[in-house]
Structure 1
Amino acid sequence: MIKTIIFDFGDVFINLDKPAIQKELSLLGKISPPQIQEINIAYETGKLSTSECVNAFQTILTNATKKEIINAWNAILLDFPEHRLQFIRNLSISKKYTLILLSNTNELHIDWIKEHVSFYNIFKSCFNFFYLSHEIGLRKPDTSIFEFVLEQHQLNPLETLFIDDTKENTDSAKKLGIHVWNNNPKTEDITNLFTIKSNIF
């Protein structure tokens, strides 16, 4: 029986355009995917501050302004459909499960969401625990981030479901015995959770 549900944020609740960062940064100058990924990982694990992240990009994209880089960085973020908010609110009100958010993210993205998603605080309040990678210094798919959550809340993996659109992340959680749903954001919606994963509830 599932007692705890761990949710990813991007492409589970808020829609993303994942290729947008590479596309928009490339319009500002020559930059490779490995260069972006290296900065991204450091930023998402809190090893770089926001100013250090922007400076790292400006070192490569020497003609780009701070604002241009930030706009390119935030281009990944799209809309947050309100029916998904209603879903998590109803789930929270039911008190049937411990609800945890576990997201690879960073200060710029969260600041953008706070500014553009009017119900962000309501959304956050639906969760018993809310973990952002840049705040805890851990990042998916490293198994250490799942071990941290399991140990922090004394969770039984067999009673825990983790939902994420990235297979690398769900594969990592699965190794620890956690039930997983690798959702496809193009064809599946979090609101259909109990239909799609009815076999484990």
Structure 2
Amino acid sequence: MLYIFDLGNVIVDIDFRRVLGVWSNLSGVPLAALSAGFTQGDAFHRHERGEISDEEFAALLCDELGIALSYEQFSAGWQEVFVGLRKEVIAIMQRLRQQGHRVVVLSNTNRLHSTYWPEQYPEVRAAADAIYLSQELGMRKPEPRIYQHVLQQEGVKPDQAVFFDDSLDNVEGARALGIEGVLVTDSHTVPAYFS
């Protein structure tokens, strides 16, 4: 079997409120105002596909939120999204590989984050046979082609794959292609699936 794991809130806990907290402190804009204005819109999606640079993304998002931050300040806040590793999921990934299964990571991410988390959490790369990142592929979940790309690269049919993600849209995108999709709602979902 091929087991496909999302990164954020599946292998690594993330929390965008931490990002907004840093930006609020640096900009003086109230956290409530930033929370109300923060969406994962067009700029977010284009950045995750690698269509715009980190600097362009920072400028667009600061403009959207009405905050004046330097690129360095923006970046410092952006990296605060990472909370910590779900070690029990890493252990499951390692066990699956020992049992002869393929284990890969498929993440909607961006260059800013992908220059950070591999150093912070080297356990992720060590527990995966391959890592597929949206900004390197020029496509993002839930676009059908990104799942098809992973299946093709791994040489498996959809019914030979299980996909774990914390986004219902992404899970439904995988299911539409015949992949078993598991919606990860908290840190217990993945361990419970394998228990």
Q: What's the TM-score bracket when you normalise by the shorter of the two chains?
A: 0.7 to 0.9
Output the CA distance in 2 between the equivalents of 1:5 and 1:26: 38
Runs of 4+ in 1 over 6 A off after TM superposition: none
Mapped contact 2:164–2:184 kept (Cα < 8 A) = yes
Identity of aligned residues (%): 23
Amino acid paired to 2:7: F
**Paired residue for 1:7, among 5, 8, 11?**
5
Output the CA distance in 1 between the equivalents of 2:110 and 2:7: 12
Q: Would you say 1:88 and 2:93 are equivalent positions?
A: yes
Mapped contact 2:10–2:86 kept (Cα < 8 A) = no
Mapped contact 2:163–2:181 kept (Cα < 8 A) = yes
Relative to structure 1, the CA distance from residue 146 to residue 51 in structure 2 (aligned partners, 3 Å threshold; closer, same or farther) is same
SS of the equivalent of 1:177 reads coil
Amino acid paired to 2:191: T
Mapped contact 1:58–1:65 kept (Cα < 8 A) = no
**1:74 is matched with which residue?**
79
Amino acid paired to 1:166: S
SS of the equivalent of 2:95 reads helix
SS of the equivalent of 1:100 reads strand
**Paired residue for 1:113, among 117, 120, 129?**
117
SS of the equivalent of 1:51 reads helix
- 1:1-201 alignment, distance < 5 Å: 3-22=1-20, 24-25=22-23, 28=27, 29=29, 32-34=37-39, 37-60=41-64, 61=66, 63-95=68-100, 97-117=101-121, 120=122, 122-185=123-186, 188-195=188-195
Amino acid paired to 2:90: L
Relative to structure 1, the CA distance from residue 24 to residue 41 in structure 2 (aligned partners, 3 Å threshold; closer, same or farther) is farther
| Alpha-carbon offset, residue 189 of structure 1 | 4.2
Output the CA distance in 1 between the equivalents of 2:57 and 2:102: 34
Output the CA distance in 2 between the equivalents of 1:39 and 1:145: 19
Relative to structure 1, the CA distance from residue 52 to residue 135 in structure 2 (aligned partners, 3 Å threshold; closer, same or farther) is same
State the TM-score, normalized to the length of structure 2: 0.83
Output the CA distance in 1 between the equivalents of 2:67 and 2:14: 27
> Which runs of 5 or more residues in structure 2 are unaligned?
none
Output the CA distance in 1 between the equivalents of 2:17 and 2:177: 30
How many residue pairs match? The answer is 187
Relative to structure 1, the CA distance from residue 19 to residue 178 in structure 2 (aligned partners, 3 Å threshold; closer, same or farther) is same
| Alpha-carbon offset, residue 25 of structure 1 | 4.3
SS of the equivalent of 1:139 reads coil
